[in-house]
Amino acid sequence: MRYASRKEDFLPRSFYNIKADLPAPPKPPLHPGTKEPLKPEDLEAIFPKSFIRQEGVTDREVPIPEPVLEAYSVFRPTPLIEATALRKALDTPARIFYKYEGVGPVGSHKTNTAIMQAYLAAQDGVKTLATETGAGQWGSALAYAGSRFGIETRIFMVRSSFRQKPGRRVIMEMFGGTVLESPSPTTEAGRKFYDQDHEHPGSLGIAISEAVEVTLKTPGVKYALGSVLDSVLMHQTVIGLEAEKQMEEMGVVPDTIIGCVGGGSNFAGLAFPFIRHNLRGERKARFIAVEPEACPSLTRGALRYDFGDSVGMTPLLYMYTLGMDFVPPPLHAGGLRYHGMAPLVSHLAAMGIVEPRAVDEKTVFDRAVLFMKTEGILPAPESSHAISVAVDEALAAKKEGRERTILFNLSGHGFLDISAYARNGHGGKA
């Protein structure tokens, strides 16, 4: 069945589950109370049952349901583009390619898992999905997916972003979502921080605690998470599966694959289908996960069990973490302000397959402007972290006088981040 006309129809029919190919599994999540490995029924108070089944699936290929394919076909396959103008500006022998996820309904990769999660919740008869959002991309993706599959959404938005990005709130509300500023006085978890400081900037960890609390206390409400979990990363593999076919069709194989990391989902989505060839010993590509210097969970955090939220309500995950109490400074790349890292990305980093890299915000903004001037696309501040390292790698190739094939994920556009660019001195006289 075709739902849209595209020059090439590379839309995958299954997600790729990297757990089927790992030599050893990551350490399992633990119950927050008993500290014993989590049983699927432990999650039933929080997540829809169909979602829990996806989280536990061990098959290599997991079929994408027809209604989800239909929703994907609005914007997938997304374009795979060679950055020829950027290459010219850098005068590098390296070829640079990017997968552009900004063409989705709300402008980022988050829609890929939002659609799948809303579909699964609707199958289970869930009435409302509660969630948190940092920069607002996840909240708007879930609000859209909810409206498509007849599910209400209740979204706790981190205060620093709520204030910086009013446009995102408007979008969520237009889709029918209810948006609350976090930390809020409406939950016990929120009040812990709100009572100390009514202007508390908030964090993803705090907002997660609030959404989980509402889920536990309200019948008919289940929780949705936009990153970190195994199945969320798996839903994002449509990105890499498409990219691989698109590059094959162009006759190129990437040797360096780059993505920014907040919780790890867009990076995993692009990288995992390529990592599978490394795991099978067929290739030796490099995989670089880029994070902000100000929130360096992979480069400076410890690999240990930690809570996914800031209050200690979620299961314990074995991951690189800065600690559940870490409140990152109010970065412009709000989507990268998370204290932990997906257990699967952490596992691959510990195995030495994923190389972590931290970059500073000023360089990131300058590179974003260079990218915009050459390629014409305004990148999300999060995605600009990947651009920044793609430029570094292209310049390194120039120094070495070596041909390279770089592929990075342009996880979203920055049309609702204009004020962040303006505050960094761009647009005025720059």
Ligand X SMILES: *Cc1c(COP(=O)(O)O)cnc(C)c1O
Binding site for ligand X (CB under 6 A): 108, 110, 137-138, 227, 260-267, 335-336, 380, 382-383, 411-412
Nearer to ligand X (CB atom), residue 262 or residue 343: 262
Provide, rounded to whole angstroms, the least separation between the CB of residue 281 and ligand X: 28
Provide, rounded to whole angstroms, the least separation between the CB of residue 261 and ligand X: 5
Provide, rounded to whole angstroms, the least separation between the CB of residue 10 and ligand X: 21
Provide, rounded to whole angstroms, the least separation between the CB of residue 35 and ligand X: 26
Q: In angstroms, how far apart are the furthest CA atoms of the chain?
A: 62
**CA distances to 370, 385, 391 from 375, in Å:** 8, 16, 13
Nearer to ligand X (CB atom), residue 177 or residue 335: 335
Provide, rounded to whole angstroms, the least separation between the CB of residue 319 and ligand X: 13
Nearer to ligand X (CB atom), residue 42 or residue 101: 101
Q: Residue 290 in 3-state DSSP?
A: strand
Q: Which residue is nearest to ligand X (CB)?
A: 412
Provide, rounded to whole angstroms, the least separation between the CB of residue 282 and ligand X: 26
Nearer to ligand X (CB atom), residue 228 or residue 397: 228
Nearer to ligand X (CB atom), residue 254 or residue 335: 335
SS (H, E, C) the chain: CCCCCCCCCCCCCEEECHHHCCCCCCCCCECCCCCCECCHHHHCCCCCHHHHHHHHCCCCEEECCHHHHHHHCCCCCCCEEECHHHHHHHCCCCEEEEEEHHHCCCCECCHHHHHHHHHHHHHCCCCEEEEEECCCHHHHHHHHHHHHHCCEEEEEEEHHHHHHCHHHHHHHHHCCCEEEEECCCCCHHHHHHHCCCCCCCCCHHHHHHHHHHHHHHCCCEEECCCCCCHHHHHHCCHHHHHHHHHHHHHCCCCCEEEEECCCCHHHHHHHHHHHHHHHCCCCCCEEEEEEECCCCHHHHCEEEEEECCCCCCCCEEEEEECCCCCCCCCCCCHHHCCCCCCHHHHHHHHCCCEEEEEECHHHHHHHHHHHHHHHCCCECHHHHHHHHHHHHHHHHHHHHCCCCEEEEEECEECCCCHHHHHHCCCCCCC
Cα(89)–Cα(4) distance, integer angstroms: 35
Nearer to ligand X (CB atom), residue 146 or residue 412: 412
Nearer to ligand X (CB atom), residue 54 or residue 137: 137
Tokens 């999540």 locate to 29
Nearer to ligand X (CB atom), residue 114 or residue 130: 114
Provide, rounded to whole angstroms, the least separation between the CB of residue 297 and ligand X: 10
Side-chain-side CA neighbours of 183 within 13 Å: the count stands at 25
Nearer to ligand X (CB atom), residue 102 or residue 190: 102
Nearer to ligand X (CB atom), residue 342 or residue 397: 342
Provide, rounded to whole angstroms, the least separation between the CB of residue 347 and ligand X: 15
Provide, rounded to whole angstroms, the least separation between the CB of residue 242 and ligand X: 16
Provide, rounded to whole angstroms, the least separation between the CB of residue 144 and ligand X: 13
